[in-house]
Amino acid sequence: MSTSIPAQQHNTSGSDDGRSGFTRVPPQDLDAEQSVIGALLLSGSPNSASFRFFAEIFDTGITAGEYYRPAHAVIHRAVVGLRAAGEPVDAVTVADDLTRRGELARVGGAAYLHACVQAVPTVANGAYYAEIVRAKAYRRSVIEAAQRIVEFAYGEAGDEDEVRDLVERQLTEIVAGIPGLHGAPPKVGDLYLDFVADLEDVQDGRRVGLTYGFADLDALTSGMRPGNVTVVGAASGVGKSTFALNAAVSAAKTGAKVMFSSLEMSATELMTKIAAAEGKIALHHLTHQGGLTAEGWETVRRLGPELFASLPLRVHRPEGASLGDIASVARACARDGGLDLLVVDYLQLVEVEQGRNVTREQAVASVSRGLKNLSVELGCHVLALSQLNDDGLMRESRAIKNDASVVVKVERPDAGEPESPRAGEVDLVIEKNRFGPTARVTVAAQLHYSRFVDMEQT
């Protein structure tokens, strides 16, 4: 059925180790590739009865880069160009376009275009042939990703963290199904409908991002959006971890996949705080011998099936404290069901490789930039906590704020003033907000339950 094409020999291992007498050929199906090209040439005219098959082939998402034979990629690009210009596509128009580009001889001449047309078993199966081509391209991409890992592992460059980061990124791309395969970004016309849908959500008051768990904060920021970072700063003991854990649980209750990475508290401590907040059990009753009443025990037992069993919240206590450790586990979560929110408690405890000439601010900036990149890579929101200095400034503030979309400072006006008229209140000061105004939101502190709540809930 098809014109014979010599197989392109590639050494997938980079060298012949002497154990085999042949070079392995990467996965490919040249018959399927010819059939896709032929189906496009046969169905590319708007007046053709088979024109709908032309659209079906492109609906598979096939791109020029997925063909194994370079000539097929050149022909596919010509077809795409004619399609974008609104011109009919067939063997004659494509040959003319390739001639003008000086590429006709490169693909085997007009005779090869006609050979592809004759090679098509059934035009109606064009989309199926395209899926075969894409599947082979994916396998080649997996091989290429594996080769990069092997070559880097054999080399002496980089340290253990860099090797692990490369492996994690390559595996994530492989599982995503698009390793190393980049398409052209969309045109604004293609983005318009999604833009209008988002605009309607905003104008109608529907939440755009994940909830923080506080109505006014959600209204001002439109929630926690994927690919963005919120930095929460507070002095020691004010309650930044409490705020973050409340936000994590609130988001998880809506079905969001959440990972809480704590470098300060153990998993048991975090579970205790969640139980106190959700069960309205005094924290000191949970942490002291004999503190729980029979009613308290019943509440804890009820929380198991009613909350914890279904809450999509993962608690992570890193074995190390490096950004690589956190990123590695976050990618694992993304592969295993998805990840919508990553909480890091807190920034200054994250370790980075700090050279002799690297300042602490530069080191923290590296962590901040790494978390921002991770939020984009995984399409999740990152909620990062930061310690405040005694003068109320966020440590390494310039470095941290640069990558944040929202910066919230947690302040307790009654701190050090037991008789303060604002006892039990907490101010969430929005110092930076890319999605709205800066403002001050007041919530109630119920620290004996390890939680903050909206004022109307008190």
Give the C-alpha separation, 405 to 184, whole Å. 26
Domain residue ranges of the chain, discontinuous segments joined by +: 30-142, 207-457
Helix (H, G, I), strand (E, B) or coil at 108: coil
Query: Within 10 Å of residue 309's Cβ, how many Cβ atoms?
Result: 8
Check residue 355 and give its pLDDT.
Answer: 52
CA-to-CA distance for 133 and 28, rounded, in angstroms?
Answer: 7
Select 207-457's CATH number: 3.40.50.300, 3.30.390.30, 3.40.50.2300, 1.10.3720.10.
3.40.50.300
Q: How many CA atoms lie within 13 A of 404 on its CB side?
A: 25
Q: How much is the pLDDT for 15?
A: 41
The Cα–Cα gap between 443 and 283 comes to: 19
* pLDDT at site 144: 85
Tell me the average pLDDT across 446-458: 86
pLDDT at 343 over 90: yes
Tokens of 82: 């004619």
C-alpha 354 chain-centroid distance: 27
- Among 130-134, 160-164, 328-332, the range scoring the smallest mean pLDDT is 160-164
Instruction: Please return the burial class of 256, using the count of CB atoms within 10 Å of its CB with bins 0-12, 13-18 and 19+.
Output: buried
With 0-12 / 13-18 / 19 or more C-beta atoms within 10 angstroms meaning exposed / middle / buried, residue 128 is: middle
270-280 pLDDT tens trace: 999 999 999 99
DSSP 281-334: --HHHHHSTT---HHHHHHHHHHIIIIITT--EEEE--SS-BHHHHHHHHHHHH
Higher per-residue pLDDT: 59 or 353: 59
Stronger pLDDT, 256 or 369, i.e. the higher one = 256
What digits encode the pLDDT tens for the residues 165-224?
878 777 777 766 654 445 567 788 888 888 888 788 777 766 678 999 999 999 899 899
Across residues 328-332, what is the average pLDDT?
85
- Which of residues 381 and 436 earns the better pLDDT score? 381
What is the three-class DSSP state of 200? Answer: helix
Would you tell me the crossing angle of helices 91-101 and 70-84 to the nearest 10 degrees?
100
User: Residue 21's pLDDT is what?
Assistant: 40
- pLDDT on residue 276: 92
Q: If pLDDT is split at 50, 70 and 90, which confidence band does 10 have?
A: very low
Does the pLDDT of residue 13 top 60, yes or no?
no
Is residue 353 pLDDT above 60, yes or no? no
What is the predicted pLDDT for the residue at 22? 47
Residue 183's pLDDT is 52
Look at domain 30-142 and name its CATH class: mainly alpha
**Residue 112 half-sphere exposure, CB side, CA atoms within 13 Å?**
19
DSSP annotation of 107 reads G
